[in-house]
Amino acid sequence: MDVLQGAGSVSRRPARQIFAVLALLLGMGVPSHAESPKPSPPVDHAIAMHGEPALPRGFTHLPYADPKAPKGGRIVFGQQGTFDSLNPLVVLGVAPDAVPRYVQQSLLLRSADEPFTAYGLLASRVELNEERTKLAFEIDERARFSDGKPVTAQDVLFTFEMLKTKGKPFHRSSLGRVTKAQVPSPRRVEFELGDGSNRELPLVIGAMPIFAKHATNAETFGETSFKAALGSGPYVVSDIVPGATITLRRRKDFWAEDHPLTRGLFNADEIRYDFYRDANALFEAFKAGLYDVRIEPDPTRWMTGYDVPAVRDGRILRETLHFDAPKGMTGLVFNTRRPFFADVRVREALGILLDFEWVNRNLFHGVYRRAGSFFSDSELSALGVPADAREKALLAAFPGAVRDDILAGTWSPSATDGSGRDREQARRALDLLNKAGFGMVDGVLRSMKGGDPLAFEITVTNRPQERLALNYAQSLGRLGITVTVRLIDDVQYWRRLSAFDFDMIQWTWPASASPGNEQIGRWGSANAQRNGALNYAGVASPAVDATLAALLGAREREDFVAAARTLDRLLLSGFYVVPLYYLPDTWLAHGRDIVLPARKPAYFLSTEALARLPAAPAPAN
């Protein structure tokens, strides 16, 4: 799950203990001298999807947080693009994550050390039955919004109803599965979760950023706005320059200052987001010291762009970090709503024509690995792994949904000779295109039925994407395929994506170790035509829908892995993307005054754990 990883149960008392207690009560032959087994204490401080939470009730801080981290100062983050709203939870507008991350809080907080665990934050107690059909939260009596008013169960219910009706498609579809929500007391909220088949639903509910009912207009919630939500988190928005800067100031009256989940986190007195129109301006600003932390996505920059005085004299430090999470998929996405891309043979053929070996060597210094899975570098990947009995059982009702070579684990993305003109791959692609009804007419690839040329547009939003798209367009042009590349600004780009108004885009699907409900947003049939959804490829497959249900309903780790691999095989068989690449590690650059905790999280970088060293005292006169 990308929005929040976590899960667990409330009372997991083994059946043998229950029967022993019943035997004592009913006189069923348990000897009087026998000592009754001591029941395990119920897990009521966290939820874990499979197994138990790693941290017991009463833990003092997250393992990767440093309670002794320096406090104070300002940390500045740089972002490419702009914004026209502060609310990223609705369809309209372009908004950063600043308010949900730093201003608001959720009932549960995901641990960056565990793939499927979240711990109680606003919730002082969690109750979830074994069948995952009933969920309840007790709100911490200390919790306060920044205006001093308490966080109540009514605020949770209000948030739930608002996101269910006016939030993004992810929340609408996920929260719509709740069959009943009620508030029996001011600090208790209860949810009934249907048949419990969506076992991640309790975590989605726990991850909702909670809005203050008394300070939020539900009628205008779906509109863009520069008014920040009133939150219970450690910061408030203190200044906004629309489209350019957001500044957050740490609260002096933050209710959870010494909470185990916040101890050692949120160390800066001020957080600022600065926005830059393009990637070059963003990088130049970092080199000039205008912002503090940068995750570098560009191999060329990482290899050659940091040979600058600030790096040489130690003002900028560089680190290579490794996390255990799957590496996900970056690819060129086919909009299968377009008639030419509706044929899987066309999509496969166009994928064959990408010369990854040439691109990686000449554009990216050879540092990328070829993506061949949506869960690369993990046990969830189907690449090179034959399907087991569990996977075959999931696919039994959908014969032919997965290609034989992908089922057997023998398929891999096409490899070229690296020349940029691999004729064998071109012949393979042209053969597929001929079978799909296309032929060469006067040097142009055309449909043999209507005579229309095979032509499409790749929409990009930055120069690195443009460079790769132009190279790919050149490769396709050798087979008479006409491709135009259009670079557009950030706001226009997101509006077009929201309406599925594109032929092909470059996209990255991050992968966590706990994929869940977010996969429905990416691949579920219900989101194929829903504007604002993330199913950019337009996937509408009963086999995929059934596998997503199995993924969310898995009770054991083995069943979960089998469902994830099956999903991977189905997506690969559909050739919905031209697989590009991934980086096995994370490249991080930061100012020398920025302190990272000595103990890194296992699954992702927690920027909330960063701190800034205090400024050196001015020399005495």
**Mind listing the pLDDT tens digit for each residue in 402-434?**
999 999 999 999 998 888 888 999 999 999 999
Given a contact cutoff of 8 angstroms between Cβ atoms, the answer to whether 471 and 465 are in contact is: no
The tally of CA atoms less than 13 A away on the side-chain side of residue 462 is 17
Given a contact cutoff of 8 angstroms between Cβ atoms, the answer to whether 566 and 282 are in contact is: no
pLDDT on residue 20: 32
Q: How far apart are CA 563 and CA 197, in angstroms?
A: 14
Closest listed residue to residue 103, CA positions, set 237, 226, 208, 218: 237
Phi/psi for 130 (5° steps) reads -60, -35
What beta strand segments (E) does 381-511 contain? Answer: 438-441, 444-447, 455-460, 482-487, 504-509
Show me where the domains of the chain are located. 329-582
Closest listed residue to residue 76, CA positions, set 251, 246, 243, 271: 271
Q: Report H helices in 478-517.
A: 490-498
**Mind listing the pLDDT tens digit for each residue in 454-475?**
999 999 998 889 999 999 999 9
Closest listed residue to residue 563, CA positions, set 286, 197, 289: 197
pLDDT on residue 440: 92
Closest listed residue to residue 578, CA positions, set 325, 355, 326: 355
Reply yes or no on whether the pLDDT at 246 is more than 60: yes
Q: How far apart are CA 478 and CA 474, in angstroms?
A: 7
Q: Tell me the average pLDDT of the chain.
A: 90
3.30.1330.40, 3.90.330.10, 3.10.105.10, 3.40.630.150: which CATH number matches 329-582?
Answer: 3.10.105.10
**Mind listing the pLDDT tens digit for each residue in 40-92?**
445 699 998 877 899 999 999 999 999 999 999 999 999 998 999 999 999 88
Given a contact cutoff of 8 angstroms between Cβ atoms, the answer to whether 178 and 205 are in contact is: yes
Given a contact cutoff of 8 angstroms between Cβ atoms, the answer to whether 360 and 366 are in contact is: yes
pLDDT on residue 42: 58
**Mind listing the pLDDT tens digit for each residue in 477-511?**
999 999 999 999 888 998 999 999 999 999 999 88
616 Cβ contact list (under 8 Å, min separation 6): none
Q: How far apart are CA 356 and CA 581, in angstroms?
A: 8
Reply yes or no on whether the pLDDT at 19 is more than 80: no
* 341-345 own/partner pairs: CB under 8 Å, 24+ apart: 341/456, 341/503, 343/436, 343/437, 344/574, 344/575, 345/432, 345/433, 345/435, 345/436
Under the banding of pLDDT at 50, 70 and 90, the label for residue 619 is low
Q: How far apart are CA 104 and CA 123, in angstroms?
A: 14
Phi/psi for 275 (5° steps) reads -110, 140
Given a contact cutoff of 8 angstroms between Cβ atoms, the answer to whether 93 and 290 are in contact is: no
pTM: 0.79
**Mind listing the pLDDT tens digit for each residue in 4-15?**
333 333 333 333
pLDDT on residue 620: 63
The tally of CA atoms less than 13 A away on the side-chain side of residue 339 is 7
DSSP 324: S
**Mind listing the pLDDT tens digit for each residue in 550-575?**
999 888 889 999 999 999 999 999 99
Length of the chain: 621
Phi/psi for 84 (5° steps) reads -130, 15
